[in-house]
Amino acid sequence: MAQTIDGTAIAAAVRADVAEGAAAFRAQHGRAPALRVVLVGDHPASQSYVRAKARAAGEAGIDAETLARPADLSQADLLALIAGLNADDAVDGILVQLPLADAVDEGAVIRAIDPAKDVDGFHPENVGRLVLGEPTLEPCTPAGIVEMLRRSGVETAGAHAVVLGRSNIVGKPMASLLLRRGIDATVTVCHSRTRDLAEITRQADVLIAAIGRAEFVTADMVRPGATVIDVGINRVEDATRERGYRLVGDVDFQAVSEVAGAITPVPGGVGPMTIAMLLQNTLEAARRRAR
């Protein structure tokens, strides 16, 4: 039976470290690290993510404020809002909650954020630094996975890490991080056009699933003893739940637990780590800007 990697507990440890750092920052600079979260529209999942981020930031002693704007906010007005936050010296981190409306050019919005305040790590300048192996604000989900592997004592050096998914938010930055010196994994990235997927996933010492397909990874796709990290958050209908659905990952947790050496649950795995790393990035951005 696999060991369950408790993302909630590891995230709590990261958040405690951030709280200590934020208190020290405040003592030194007379103000807390400051995060501004921009939420456009009333997408329910986005609202709940933003609430969770703001609450966690407040608990860690970060001055967090959510700037909620109506769904029909124009791109020009959104860019003007970002320009104002860029210019505000008392703001350290800016996060624009994605996805944005189809009418808005997401790339243009991301590029408008000052890279020094880009706590999501999505700006092309920060992505470039990541690929070059330079210090940067790292995208929160893959950074959280690395932190979780490190704090659970999972050996990555020389290990074969297989990443399922090539999105800009998870798959690609995950691969770049795993290749970094000090992490030193051998990395394979798979996607919807990959041939013989199960044959590749069975070679993984560390398997990271980020595809957005409920319980896609089955026990026969996993090498006995492998570490399985489940990034997926999928809603599946469930009449026994009050809200009519439950959340499951991209991994069939029950069956894969019988084979894997270690596995992250959904919820309570990668999700809390993503939020913890956002707080860490905000503190890091504040420290760098103060230097």
- What residues make contact with ligand NAP under the rule CB under 6 A? 141, 164-167, 169-171, 190-194, 197, 210-213, 231-234, 270-271, 274
* Of 121 and 171, CB closest to ligand NAP: 171
Retrieve residue 62's tokens. 């970060």
* Of 193 and 243, CB closest to ligand NAP: 193
Which neighbouring-strand residues pair with 68? 39
Smallest gap from Cβ 216 to ligand NAP, in A, equals 6
* Of 86 and 268, CB closest to ligand NAP: 268
Smallest gap from Cβ 126 to ligand NAP, in A, equals 17
User: H helices then E strands: how many in the chain?
Assistant: 10, 11
User: CA 113 to CA 91: how far, in whole Å?
Assistant: 12
Can 53 be counted among the known catalytic residues?
yes
Can 120 be counted among the known catalytic residues?
yes
Smallest gap from Cβ 149 to ligand NAP, in A, equals 15
Which is the catalytic residue, given 63, 120, 230, 252?
A: 120
User: CA 223 to CA 203: how far, in whole Å?
Assistant: 7
Smallest gap from Cβ 116 to ligand NAP, in A, equals 23
User: CA 78 to CA 96: how far, in whole Å?
Assistant: 10
Smallest gap from Cβ 289 to ligand NAP, in A, equals 26
Q: Which residue is it, tokens 């408008």?
A: 112
CB neighbourhood size of 46 (10 A): 16
Q: Which element (helix H / strand E) includes 245? A: strand 245-248
Phi, psi angles (nearest 5°) of residue 39: -120, 115
Q: For the chain, first and last CA: distance in Å?
A: 48
* Of 233 and 263, CB closest to ligand NAP: 233
* Of 58 and 212, CB closest to ligand NAP: 212
Which is the catalytic residue, given 63, 97, 250, 280?
A: 97
Strands ordered across the beta sheet of 93-96: 63-69, 34-40, 93-96
Q: Catalytic residue numbers?
A: 53, 97, 120
